[in-house]
């Protein structure tokens, strides 16, 4: 299981913004219908098989609103659960539980959906020497959380952003005037270089320049397998472009070191989690 580290400033800000967006100056329905000092308990319950992610955000959500004396996590990120499983329990002011309900569910459903899909990708390549990577195709402002969710599901994080790895892509090559020119300029950073290649000729050029890793973009499994044999360990190989649950195994069996997919974040379905309020 993977425990979320929720004290990062980006995560604190994401939670703060989510609460402000939903509650604004106040939950007028709860304030009108529920007496101020009424107390209640609530449970977050899985309504389908899923992999939990983001449950560790719940204490942070309720701490920001106050009036809740207990948040008990009964699962952790990375845990696979069946329908009917209680993920967490909360107890405190009914108004607080009601006003935080949607924000809490939005995070849990979205992040657990990503983790659940990530687990399916990880399981699809079991028995190969290939690892599945996520990408930067994430919801703006939620990248750190969504990448934590992919890790909870069992796949590996690629670079967090443009600042922490050198990846020369097609448009960099165009802007630099060619693969060799782009690589020569990137060498000034004295960091490992990965280059996106789309043809056999580009693979040859990148290998001649001694790059550490090649990103084969939009190759068929058969084409990728032939190129992996040609590369023959001279560089690590990542495959990307059109990777789905249906074909990821075929790509993993080419002998590539990695396959990367944006689908795990941009196309993950929010899973079904229910919040059930109980009066105390």
Cβ burial of 165 (10 Å; 0-12, 13-18, 19+) is middle
CB 2 within 8 A of CB 241: no
147 assigned to active site: no
**Catalytic residue of the set 3, 16, 169, 191:** 169
Structure tokens at 38: 């009424």
What is the rounded CA–CA span in Å between residue 129 and residue 133? 13
CA 3, distance to chain mean position in Å, is: 14
**Catalytic residue of the set 56, 101, 196, 202:** 196
What is the rounded CA–CA span in Å between residue 173 and residue 113? 36
217 assigned to active site: yes
137 assigned to active site: yes
**Catalytic residue of the set 102, 131, 136, 234:** 102
202 assigned to active site: no
Distant-in-sequence, close-in-space partners of 91: CB < 8 Å, separation ≥ 6: 39, 40, 41, 42, 68, 69, 70, 280
**Catalytic residue of the set 43, 91, 136, 137:** 137
What is the rounded CA–CA span in Å between residue 102 and residue 270? 13
What is the rounded CA–CA span in Å between residue 34 and residue 42? 15
Range list of β-strands (E), 142-257: 166-168, 193-197, 213-217, 236-240
CB 196 within 8 A of CB 183: no
**Catalytic residue of the set 217, 227, 238, 257:** 217
- Residue 274's SS3 state is strand
> Residue 8, Cβ neighbours under 10 Å: how many?
13
Q: DSSP class of residue 189?
A: G
What residues are annotated to the active site? Answer: 102, 137, 169, 196, 217
């Amino acid at each position: 299981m993977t425990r979320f580290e929720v004290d990062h400033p980006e995560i604190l800000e994401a939670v703060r913004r989510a609460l402000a967006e939903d509650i604004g100056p106040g939950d007028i329905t709860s304030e009108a219908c529920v007496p101020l000092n009424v107390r209640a308990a609530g449970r977050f319950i899985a309504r389908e098989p899923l992999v939990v992610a983001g449950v560790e955000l719940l204490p942070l959500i309720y701490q920001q609103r106050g009036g809740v004396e207990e948040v008990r996590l009964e699962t952790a990120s990375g845990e696979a659960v069946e329908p009917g499983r209680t993920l967490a329990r909360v107890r405190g002011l009914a108004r607080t539980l009601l006003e935080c309900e949607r924000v809490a569910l939005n995070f849990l459903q979205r992040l657990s959906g990503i983790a659940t899909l990530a687990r399916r990708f990880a399981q699809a390549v079991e028995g190969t020497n290939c690892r599945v990577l996520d990408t930067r195709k994430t919801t703006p402002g939620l990248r750190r959380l969504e990448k934590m969710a992919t890790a909870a599901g069992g796949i590996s994080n690629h670079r967090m952003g443009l600042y922490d790895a050198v990846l020369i892509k097609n448009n960099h090559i165009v802007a630099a005037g060619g693969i060799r020119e782009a690589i020569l300029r990137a060498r000034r950073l004295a960091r490992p270089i990965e280059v996106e290649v789309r043809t056999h000729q580009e693979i040859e050029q990148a290998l001649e320049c001694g790059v550490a890793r090649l990103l084969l973009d939009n190759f068929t499994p058969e084409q990728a397998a032939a190129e992996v044999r040609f590369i023959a360990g001279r560089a690590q190989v990542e495959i990307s472009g059109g990777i789905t649950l249906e074909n990821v195994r075929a790509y993993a069996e080419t002998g590539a070191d990695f396959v990367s997919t944006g689908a795990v974040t941009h196309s993950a379905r929010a899973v079904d989690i229910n919040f059930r309020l109980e009066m105390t």
